[in-house]
Amino acid sequence: MDISTNPEMADAAPTPHEPPVIRREDYQPFPWLVPATRLEFTLGLAKTIVVSTLQIERNPAAQASAVLRLDGDGISAASVTVDGQESSGWEMDGDSLLLTLPGDAHEVSITTEIDPSANTQLMGLYASNGMLCTQCEAEGFRRITFFPDRPDVLSTYTVRMAGSQADFPVLLSNGNKAAEGENGDGTHWAEWHDPWPKPSYLFALVAGDLVANADSFTTLSGREVDLAIYVRDGDLGRTRHAMTSLIKSMEWDEQTFGREYDLDVFNIVAVSDFNMGAMENKGLNVFNTKYVLADPETATDGDFDGVEGVIAHEYFHNWSGNRVTCRDWFQLSLKEGFTVLRDQLFSQDMQGEAVKRIEDVRILRSAQFPEDSGPLAHPIRPDSFREISNFYTATVYNKGAEVIRMMRTMCGPEAFRQGTDLYFDRHDGEAATCEDFIRAMEDGAGLDLSQFRLWYSQAGTPRVDINLEHSGDTATLTLKQTVPPTPGQPGKKPMPIPLRIALFDRDNGSHEGEQLIVLDQPEQSFSFGGFASSPVLSVNRGFSAPVRIARDISDDDLVFLAAKDDDPFARYEAMQDLIVRHLTAASSDGLDDYAREAARRSIAQAFEAILTDETLDDSMRGELMMLPGLTYLLEQQQVADPTRIHEEREGLKAWLGARFEDGLAKLHRRVSAVAYSQESASRGARKVKTQALAYLAAANGALASEMAAAQYDAADNMTDRQGALMVLTGLSTERRSAKLLDFHERYSDNELVVDKWFALQASSLHPEAIEHVKALADHADFNIRNPNRVRSLYMAFAANPHAFHAADGEGYRLIADLILELDPINPQTAARFVPSLGRWRRIEPKRSAMMRAELERIRSAKNLSRDTFEQVARSLG
């Protein structure tokens, strides 16, 4: 029987293939402390022996137990000793090892043997291109040795590793290197010690044939830190940007948050096979190569930003995550939401606030809003899960950052800093909770967050309906909030929503200053005097709250704001609103020719102002020229027809392209003369260059194809070359295959650029994109074991609505087949494809039924991983 139709079943014991539900309210401290851990590795790609020795003692703060339960996953113990004596007092309970202990303190030593070369999940110790590396967050350490693998058990680690000098000349772990030596038989060893107590998820080990870009940094208090970025031999030339970013991050965290680095070395290692972006292991960050390697020839401006942002993010975790860690995985946003905010503020300071803020909002709305309005919706602090890997989400990360950003908006940056200082002070060395963070903010920043806590417990994106009335000389703003129901949360309470607003005088085009209002009731009115005529409302400036705004405003007023608003985000938003409104209306009820023409003319008026505004820099111009993404557009309708919205959007693009052909061609010429550099003006030039091409391509394929081929040939950097190829890939022209071939040949030895080659084709506007994807799956360069490659083909495809939502359901089948094939190899990555099918309730009935059928096909497969099972069950539930 279905759980959803029989509530009593909800608490019944799970059937054998249903992984258990873990609940936040069930948290219990671990009965034992592990003050010290010693790990000894005898390294080999196919066989590594691990001897782990734990000093344990009873935890006075927990309920006593004679049993020590150690987590394991797919490993077995070759021997167990207690206080130096071989022990037989242990047993296995599923994957866990249980040891009954007589006293209050013991030394427990366990030997395990693992095969890194067979580890395709890339969790625990695995092999990548002949090197050995680890990934332990969230629960990978238990694949290496038996341990209380939970973030609230902190221990100091001493790690000794030995292995072949030829295969593993570099031996790294957390902390500082204490000693090293040669054994005289072709093997060598190193011992590392990390003085800072840490949970097992922050453990790391790397052994391989690597070279380093070395530098140094002197901290605020004069500590000399040796910095090194380890990569494969040929990649050294592409590490400069990462090193610069690291040094800037270290300086910035001292200046902005008063956080200083705390070890003598900071190492980064780049790995080609990696499930995520990067990992903040103490003193030894392990990175996906995508977020380390960059040079102008092979990396786009976006890639440069990605490297800077992720390097900063992982570095900032040293305080927000490592020095203060999480009590349990339900508190994940404590470290991730906060650290995302920290990296966003850093990048704002590096690149300029306006554009960075717009980009971050775009990510939130295209990745997190759909999550919040679908079957996988969860609060930033979830209440339950089956597999924690499924909760590394845009909600926990990006909405989590928005929630903390709202606190900062409400108290101001100085008070916010007092709050974070108090938080770090109070909880240094602890495993803390979101509640601890909130309390430190209340005490340190002077905020009352009693009602605000709802942002941690309620899922769903609030919607704010806004109405502005004018009478006499008073403008009255009436706001209404609704927080939509989400799975498990049918009824919601009103939350405090901080909104930055300004009221523009429509005659002189200015306002008397911005104000912050906080909507904390279901409905509230605010009056403003001194307006002889009705003002134009600019609201949620800077995107001060992660909500949907439904405002009663005319197209004319949106055109006004798109041209004149002094808040860059609000200006962008006015342009987006104008277009979203039009495309949503056009693709739902349909528009007659007259109404379509009228709406397009309003958009054109704003577009023209953007094209010709000489006070705008090109980076901002590029933002304003950008059409809202299809995913965001699909979100606007309860039930959407992807093809219709796609066609309307392309139709508008073509119409604008035709109407502004001269202006766009002129813009393209102007910016093509700007020389390459990483300066903002030059980056802005490249951004609008490819945008101009994209509009022209929609209107005049022949012209655009010629211009794109020329841009491709003239390019002295990847941004221009990839941009040109992107446009060509969407067109049916001979130049398309010629340039795709050229691109592949040029960069065939660079994995990251070959990833781009796959992604460009999978995300293209070409009508046969789906056929191209099928062919690419058989390409010699496709490799299902490499997550970057899998994502570059299939994530790009699943995020390409016109192809993914092919009318015959072929796109859904393709993704479902991939999930089934990938699940036994790499369940974490496989499960990340489920949400694309999980949107079925929001898609028109014919497609919806096919999407659902694919989910059911997956659910009925045997031996599904916990990861995929949970995502599919929730999606259907």
Q: Which residues bind ligand PHE (CB under 6 A)?
A: 135, 137-138, 275-276, 278-280, 313-314, 336, 392
314 a catalytic residue: yes
Type of residue found at 580? V
Between 282 and 736, name the residue whose CB sits nearer to ligand PHE. Answer: 282
Q: Hey, which residues does 173 pair with through a beta bridge?
A: 205
CB of 201 to ligand PHE, least distance (A): 8
| Closest to 263 in 3D by CA, of 185, 177, 200, 183 | 177
Between 280 and 402, name the residue whose CB sits nearer to ligand PHE. Answer: 280
Which pair of tokens denotes residue 251?
A: 């300086």
| Closest to 199 in 3D by CA, of 151, 239, 256, 245 | 151
- Contact of residue 279 among ligand PHE, Zn ion, none (CB under 5-8 Å per partner type): ligand PHE
In angstroms, rounded to a whole number, what is the distance separating the alpha carbons of residues 670 and 651?
26
Between 504 and 833, name the residue whose CB sits nearer to ligand PHE. Answer: 833
Between 276 and 483, name the residue whose CB sits nearer to ligand PHE. Answer: 276
Which residues are CB-contacts of 546 (< 8 A; sequence separation ≥ 6)? 364, 368, 399, 402, 403, 406, 461
Q: How far is CA 142 from CA 369, 390, 459, 523, 569, in A?
A: 34, 18, 31, 51, 45
Q: Which of residues 665-694 bind Zn ion (CB under 5 A)?
A: none
- Contact of residue 284 among Zn ion, ligand PHE, none (CB under 5-8 Å per partner type): none
Instruction: Indicate the burial class of 52 (C-beta count within 10 angstroms; 0-12, 13-18, 19 or more).
Output: buried
Rg over alpha carbons for the chain, rounded to the nearest Å, is: 28
Judge whether 606 and 559 are in contact, CB under 8 Å: yes
Exposed e or buried b per residue across 727-765, where buried means at least 16 C-beta atoms within 10 angstroms of its C-beta: bbbbbebebbeebbeebeeebeebbbbbbbbbbbbbbbb
Q: Terminal CA-to-CA distance of the chain, rounded, Å?
A: 12
Between 334 and 410, name the residue whose CB sits nearer to Zn ion. Answer: 334
Q: Which residue is nearest to ligand PHE (CB)?
A: 276
CB of 322 to ligand PHE, least distance (A): 10
Which pair of tokens denotes residue 692?
A: 């101009």
CB of 342 to ligand PHE, least distance (A): 11
Secondary structure (H, E, C), 711-736 = HHHHCCCHHHHHHHHHHHHCCCCHHH
Strand stretches in 486-571, DSSP E: 497-504, 515-519, 523-528, 536-539, 548-551
- Contact of residue 312 among ligand PHE, Zn ion, none (CB under 5-8 Å per partner type): none
CB of 273 to ligand PHE, least distance (A): 12
- Contact of residue 276 among ligand PHE, Zn ion, none (CB under 5-8 Å per partner type): ligand PHE
CB of 134 to Zn ion, least distance (A): 17
- Contact of residue 137 among Zn ion, ligand PHE, none (CB under 5-8 Å per partner type): ligand PHE
Could you give phi then psi for residue 568, rounded to 5 degrees? -60, -40
Q: Which helix (H) or strand (E) holds 707?
A: helix 701-714
Between 136 and 464, name the residue whose CB sits nearer to ligand PHE. Answer: 136
In angstroms, rounded to a whole number, what is the distance separating the alpha carbons of residues 171 and 163?
9
CB of 832 to ligand PHE, least distance (A): 12
Between 335 and 802, name the residue whose CB sits nearer to Zn ion. Answer: 335
Which pair of tokens denotes residue 863?
A: 């031996």
User: Of 314, 402, 623, 648, which one is the catalytic site residue?
Assistant: 314
Between 336 and 436, name the residue whose CB sits nearer to ligand PHE. Answer: 336
Q: Which of residues 318-347 bind Zn ion (CB under 5 A)?
A: 336, 339
CB of 221 to ligand PHE, least distance (A): 26
CB of 313 to ligand PHE, least distance (A): 6
In angstroms, rounded to a whole number, what is the distance separating the alpha carbons of residues 414 and 407?
12
Binding site for Zn ion (CB under 5 A): 336, 339
Active site residues: 314
